[in-house]
Structure 1
Amino acid sequence: MNKNDAELRADELRRLIDYHNQKYYNEDSPEIDDFEYDKLLRELENIEAEYPELITTNSPTQKVGGNASGEKFAPVVHNVPMESLHDSFSHSEIRDFDKRVRETISNPTYVVEPKIDGLSVSAEYKNGIFVRGSTRGDGSVGEDITENLMTIKSLPMKLNKPIPYLEVRGEVYMSNDTFMKIITAQDENGEKPFKNPRNAAAGSLRQKDAKITKARSLDIFVFNIQQIDGVTLNSHKESLNFLKELGFTVLPFYNDFNDIEKVIDEIERIGEVRQSLPFQTDGAVIKIDSFAQRTELGSTAKFPKWAEAYKYPPEEKETTLLDIEINVGRTGVLTPTGIFSPVSLAGTTVSRATLHNIDFIKEKDLRIGDTVVLRKAGEIIPEVVKVTAHTENSEPFEFPKICPSCGSPVTREIDEAAFRCTNTDCPAQLIRHLIHFVSRDAMDIDGLGSAVIEQLVDNEMISSPLDLYRINSAQIQSLERMGEKSANNLINAIEKSKSNDLYRLVFALGIRHIGQKAAKLLADEFGTLDAIAEASIEQISAIEGFGGIMAECVYDYFRLPETKVLIEEIKTLGLNTQAEKKSKSETNALFEGKTFVITGTLKNYKRTEAASIIEQLGGKTSSSVSKKTDFVLAGEEAGSKLTKAQSLGVAVIDEEEFERMRSLQE
């Protein structure tokens, strides 16, 4: 893969991973399983390892996936970061972890324990009394869920000893029995059932009404001490034994080993017994026992170097492919779904699985009637692993040449896997486009969920995103479960969205290959929607961080006759078409209009924090160093970006100089 292709794929992977992080961590509604997610993340890690200059400050490889929702709960700053774990998928990777550890320390002792599939939380105690609980969030800032954690019977509200201050980390989970009771009741009530126990636990814990949380009968295993006053502990195993003395429920078993081969034996043992456990596990965790050795090993920007998670391979079973169903997505992409003879996988019955695209079907040589192997990694969404047998006289699957939704021709662009419907007014695309348009990162219209959108479309009240700005309260009140107050709130939210910054509108338009960050770069560069529409490919390509394909997509979109009509409608309806301009007091002469690249480990900031400061003061950030770069902010172990900056003569600054520049207002 050349650098240009790598940059495009990395950008696509970041958007995909951020989307699935939002679904998993913040909406508790994952759309792909852990195995598929891990494949995306590993692919991005490999690209960034080959091309370090493509690493961005907000890359999913540099941060924990979740974030704190200020809408539901108050934020809680974690004084000790709640880090994620690096994943391994083979015994050889566990041995590689051991080699990395032994390069720094001698004679490590490892503690191996099951990895609980739940929601990570912090619980704080003062003088032995529970005072606050919070979610992990992005590792630095979580959500205050104190009242909800108080409903969990296995979390003590008073410790057996009055420790002056203690913060522990644990995993909130739902037992298999409780999960089965809840989804049985949901089925009986005609409700959409939870996908798995982890999803159920997370959704239950992040309820505004603690009574709902209490009714879900959640449990917790406490597995780590984050902070403690008044007691000195020297090792992980010692701390777990101490936590038991205090009254906490800790992991049911944890054993220590000095030999990595015995660690691997223990991983296999846990794998053999985990199906019989009363709770879900998705792996095993290997940790350095000695706290002193942990300190010596330290952490990366995202992971501790003293721990590793091993993910078990997913369960696999054979079944028959009965049919291939074609669905149409928001951007007109035709997505094939396999219909299978029902088979039990990871405790549930599976009869459908996505087949992704025609390339996937051809690669597997999938044909209707085939005997195939399915797996259900992470116990969420199944996938086809391989074909084990074709039926006699079977024929290769032919993709439809017309859209199954509207009957229009479909097309496939060069170097693209997807077939697309050519009709921009295709009804199947409309609902998905509307959902994107009103989403949090786009126009952020609160209260306009998919159920309401589907009703508006089904009742022929809207046929395009801009029709949202033409509907009235009476129309909304005519919908199911929408009273006068709800309707008025929704109208107010729609009206409020008119004043959004320009970049949100640009992102909401759904231009191919243009994510929120690219939309912001366009808005910042050109200032108005008209200026973006009139920009040439050369002008767009000149933006730091834009590739040729992205520029072409923007240019082509604004040359479409229907886009020109759309822009006039946007103006008529009163939507803001100008980017926010920072006042002089908000900017800094040394930052305004300048491009910064951040590299290495900073002592006083996370990369995302430094990038936010730069943008607030009028500057821009980029992931790669070029002649257009004005400053490189270099921390420890800066690596190749620092070398490139020096070779190009780009100004290199450290954190001390960065602070001095911040203080020099114009």
Structure 2
Amino acid sequence: MDAATLSPEQAAAELAWLSQQLIKANTAYHRDDAPDISDATYDALKRRNAAIEAQFPELKRDDSPSDLVGGAIAEGFGKVQHVVRMLSLGNAFDDDDVVEFDQRIRKYLGWAADTSLAYTAEPKIDGLSLSLRYENGKLIQAATRGDGETGENVTANARTIADIPHEISDAPDVLEVRGEVYMSHADFAALNARQSENGGKTFANPRNAAAGSLRQLDAEITKSRPLRFFAYAWGDLSAPLAETQSGAIARLAAFGFSTNPLTQTCDGPTEMISHYKMIEAQRADLGYDIDGVVYKVDDLSLQRRLGFRSTTPRWAIAHKFPAELAWTTLEAIDIQVGRTGALSPVARLRPVTVGGVVVSNATLHNEDYIAGRDGNGAPIREGRDIRVGDWVQVYRAGDVIPKIKDVDLARRPADATPYALPTKCPECGSDAIREEGDAVRRCTGGIICPAQAVEKLKHFVSRAAFDIEGLGAKQVEQFYADGWIATPADIFTLRERFGEGLQQLKNREGWGEKSAANLFDAIDEKRSIGLARVIFSLGIRHVGENSAALLAGHYTSWAAFEQAMTTARIGEGAIWDDLTGIDGVGDVMATSVVTTMQQEAERASIDRLIAQLSVQDAEIRATDSPVAGKTVVFTGTLERMTRAEAKARAESLGAKVSGSVSAKTDILVAGPGAGSKAKKAADLGVETMDEDAWLALIGDA
């Protein structure tokens, strides 16, 4: 189903399922070097997630791939804090996506379609990302990507790789070279042959072999493995390498690094796509694995101007190679209950290998999708429904991955019956109702439903919420089943209830006195926590990580947020107007937040939690900026920058950007064509300036 046809409830349910799959995949791939889904499956999951978030920005979750880079670092290595974050890339899956990428950049920059815009295009190596730090020409540190902010210190291991020089000349005093560690097909085959002969572990693919080899605690083992390294980027620098991406890559080659010979400069999407097809045609003969082509704006000054989203640069994208299809039997349909009560059907498949990865389940979205119709009642799959026992086609690329793409009616069992979603919650037995206009059936049990309670607790301890070390999804399930925690506040009374003896916990399987004490200490460390994390942790429908940050940045303190949400009247009044005037906050999200904060049972649970915490006020960025902390509204036509660029620049300087003028507005930037907002600003006495004055104020005139 296209994201545009989903209801908010459908979208929220699917995002919950996607987040679960992606957290598991991130951990398996980045930390454990044992991926359980293919790159194509992972990419398509991310693509679907991004499509839903674009349609429903207020539903964005913390565990969305939009906000995840890599995975948690493994135990056994020292931690390295990246001076410049190691970000992931957005993805393109077809030619239209590449054209849209170019159009987005031009729109952001305010450039015409016929203006020449150069890109670099290079193979996307399927390996392990590595950052090498050189100071005064000497290699002093090597670190994996980790979660993008903190990686693993693998310096000793990196020194054993022949492609990585220990010293370089004529380099900036500080130079972080970034690239990909990989293993060639021939070396991989030879390694597995040796491992098999010696009774050792064999590897599933070259990427796993490379990652496992680099992460050996014994550097001598790494030294014995045939690892290679391609350099393609940089992090922290004391001086620029060049004025262009291509020039900087040439400089890295001059330093002695291996750079990919298929890297080429292209003028616009037509040349980019042509180069992609040329690389795709050579893919089987390269001798190493690639999974696409990466495009980057060549002009580094434009890269700086375009900047970054939360986890991806605006100026780069990965054009992935297409995935595959497979047929198998649908053995059962199970129902999962999410934290908002949504009943999500999941197909249990006879395991089938697709592109080297075993697939055993797929999302089925909702009862309309199973019945062969979209949210508007129009047929999908030509109206063919999905039944247990069917011979089904699993589609591993596109909108939803994995999903059921089609059904072979010729192989349908004679006794197969149409599937009906249960009208009772399988977890608590409460009525599961489908409201008019809603494609999702939802459990009405609320806090009495164990599935909802557990999912809310998992959300509370998730990475972008409280992120308590030692208390993850598995522990939450265990503690809930044991009756130790039922609400978030219960987490912060565990030490008090157990006492210092820790007998109840340390005698449980998998726990000892030290691990129990460490958990309690980790919980206590999170008693002081930022406002945005607290708002996000509450699990309010339609409030994702970015939305929580918007709310925190606007109200700045828990007291102000609580006061506003408690006294707001939905759809009317100055407080409501102020809330919905936040750029990025709409009526749906605002209604959800206000309703949650004014609902008796929910509020009681929240109040118990807040009593255990010291909620830190939201930080205001760029405190030395003349607009830090000020609320700014842009209206009319901007002539020297696009609206998106103006907003991003203002927020980077610590300003709050609102979509409407109110008494709390500090500055209205009015371009030609300014209308009602300019009049309202004048009536309220809000300072109004034109674009030139704004640029002069922020120092960009």
TM-score where L is the length of structure 1: 0.71
Percent sequence identity is 30
Question: Of residues 549, 560, 578 in structure 2, which corresponds to 1:527?
Answer: 560
- Indicate how the Cα distance of structure 1 residues 150 and 330 shifts in structure 2: closer, same or farther if over 3 A, else same: same
Listed as ranges, the matches of 1:285-434 within 5 Å are: 285-286=294-295, 300-302=306-308, 309-362=318-371, 363=373, 364=380, 365-377=385-397, 382-389=402-409, 391=412, 394-423=416-445, 424-434=447-457
- Indicate how the Cα distance of structure 1 residues 465 and 308 shifts in structure 2: closer, same or farther if over 3 A, else same: closer
Question: Of residues 515, 533, 540 in structure 2, which corresponds to 1:511?
Answer: 540
Deviations 1:160-189 (A, max 9, x none): 75656555331234678869999xx9xxxx
1:446 equivalenced with 2:469 (yes/no): yes
Deviations 1:540-562 (A, max 9, x none): 63324343333433444355453
Contact 1:6 1:47 in 2 (8 A): no
Q: Which residue identity is paired with 1:474?
A: Q
Question: Of residues 455, 472, 488 in structure 1, which corresponds to 2:517?
Answer: 488
Work out the CA distance in 1 between the residues paired with 2:515 and 2:673: 52
Question: Of residues 83, 87, 91 in structure 2, which corresponds to 1:77?
Answer: 83
Work out the CA distance in 1 between the residues paired with 2:625 and 2:216: 41
- Indicate how the Cα distance of structure 1 residues 86 and 453 shifts in structure 2: closer, same or farther if over 3 A, else same: closer
Work out the CA distance in 2 between the residues paired with 1:194 and 1:465: 42
Work out the CA distance in 1 between the residues paired with 2:511 and 2:257: 45
Match in the other structure for 1:41: 50
Question: Of residues 481, 484, 493 in structure 2, which corresponds to 1:461?
Answer: 484
Match in the other structure for 1:664: none
2:306 counterpart SS class: coil
Q: Which residue identity is paired with 2:430?
A: S
Contact 1:632 1:645 in 2 (8 A): no
Alignment RMSD: 5.7
Q: Which residue identity is paired with 2:116?
A: I
1:89 equivalenced with 2:93 (yes/no): yes
- Indicate how the Cα distance of structure 1 residues 525 and 474 shifts in structure 2: closer, same or farther if over 3 A, else same: closer
2:435 counterpart SS class: coil
Q: Which residue identity is paired with 1:489?
A: N
Q: Which moved more, 1:220-229 or 1:316-325?
A: 220-229
1:563 equivalenced with 2:599 (yes/no): no
Q: Which moved more, 1:518-527 or 1:450-459?
A: 518-527
1:399, distance to aligned residue in structure 2 (A): 0.7
1:341 counterpart SS class: strand
Match in the other structure for 1:549: 588
Contact 1:403 1:409 in 2 (8 A): yes
1:77 counterpart SS class: coil
Work out the CA distance in 2 between the residues paired with 1:477 and 1:208: 31
TM-score where L is the length of structure 2: 0.68
Work out the CA distance in 1 between the residues paired with 2:336 and 2:515: 32
1:103 equivalenced with 2:114 (yes/no): yes
Deviations 1:335-359 (A, max 9, x none): 2111223321121222211223334
Match in the other structure for 1:156: 164
- Indicate how the Cα distance of structure 1 residues 659 and 488 shifts in structure 2: closer, same or farther if over 3 A, else same: farther
Q: Which residue identity is paired with 1:117?
A: D
1:466 counterpart SS class: helix
1:654 counterpart SS class: helix
- Indicate how the Cα distance of structure 1 residues 527 and 201 shifts in structure 2: closer, same or farther if over 3 A, else same: farther
Contact 2:390 2:413 in 1 (8 A): no
Unaligned runs of 5+ in 1: 49-53, 186-190, 615-619, 661-666
Q: Which residue identity is paired with 1:464?
A: T
1:527 counterpart SS class: helix
Contact 2:506 2:512 in 1 (8 A): yes
1:143, distance to aligned residue in structure 2 (A): 5.4
Work out the CA distance in 1 between the residues paired with 2:220 and 2:471: 23
1:401, distance to aligned residue in structure 2 (A): 0.9
Contact 2:631 2:664 in 1 (8 A): yes
Question: Of residues 449, 457, 460 in structure 2, which corresponds to 1:437?
Answer: 460
Q: Which residue identity is paired with 2:444?
A: T
Contact 2:565 2:598 in 1 (8 A): no
Listed as ranges, the matches of 1:239-250 within 5 Å are: 246-250=255-259
Contact 1:127 1:162 in 2 (8 A): no
- Indicate how the Cα distance of structure 1 residues 610 and 210 shifts in structure 2: closer, same or farther if over 3 A, else same: farther
- Indicate how the Cα distance of structure 1 residues 431 and 563 shifts in structure 2: closer, same or farther if over 3 A, else same: closer
Work out the CA distance in 2 between the residues paired with 1:212 and 1:606: 52
Q: Which moved more, 1:110-119 or 1:651-660?
A: 651-660
- Indicate how the Cα distance of structure 1 residues 196 and 445 shifts in structure 2: closer, same or farther if over 3 A, else same: farther
Work out the CA distance in 2 between the residues paired with 1:327 and 1:474: 34
- Indicate how the Cα distance of structure 1 residues 10 and 91 shifts in structure 2: closer, same or farther if over 3 A, else same: same
Q: Which residue identity is paired with 2:517?
A: N
1:449, distance to aligned residue in structure 2 (A): 1.8
- Indicate how the Cα distance of structure 1 residues 498 and 224 shifts in structure 2: closer, same or farther if over 3 A, else same: closer
Q: Which moved more, 1:380-389 or 1:233-242?
A: 233-242
1:115 equivalenced with 2:130 (yes/no): no
Contact 2:336 2:343 in 1 (8 A): yes
Contact 2:245 2:300 in 1 (8 A): no
Work out the CA distance in 1 between the residues paired with 2:466 and 2:266: 53
Work out the CA distance in 2 between the residues paired with 1:607 and 1:371: 51
2:349 counterpart SS class: strand
How many equivalent residue pairs?
Answer: 616
1:457 counterpart SS class: helix
Listed as ranges, the matches of 1:470-485 within 5 Å are: 470=494, 471-472=497-498, 473-485=502-514
1:153, distance to aligned residue in structure 2 (A): 1.5
- Indicate how the Cα distance of structure 1 residues 419 and 195 shifts in structure 2: closer, same or farther if over 3 A, else same: farther
1:447, distance to aligned residue in structure 2 (A): 2.0
1:400, distance to aligned residue in structure 2 (A): 0.9
Q: Which residue identity is paired with 1:483?
A: G
1:442, distance to aligned residue in structure 2 (A): 2.9
Unaligned runs of 5+ in 2: 107-111, 196-200, 374-379
Work out the CA distance in 2 between the residues paired with 1:38 and 1:244: 34
Contact 2:631 2:658 in 1 (8 A): no
- Indicate how the Cα distance of structure 1 residues 208 and 554 shifts in structure 2: closer, same or farther if over 3 A, else same: farther
Question: Of residues 632, 635, 654 in structure 1, which corresponds to 2:694?
Answer: 654
Contact 1:326 1:335 in 2 (8 A): yes
Deviations 1:605-624 (A, max 9, x none): 9977853763xxxxx72452
Contact 2:134 2:140 in 1 (8 A): yes
Match in the other structure for 1:596: 632
- Indicate how the Cα distance of structure 1 residues 358 and 152 shifts in structure 2: closer, same or farther if over 3 A, else same: farther
Match in the other structure for 2:229: 220
Match in the other structure for 1:282: 291
Contact 1:133 1:145 in 2 (8 A): yes
Q: Which residue identity is paired with 1:89?
A: F
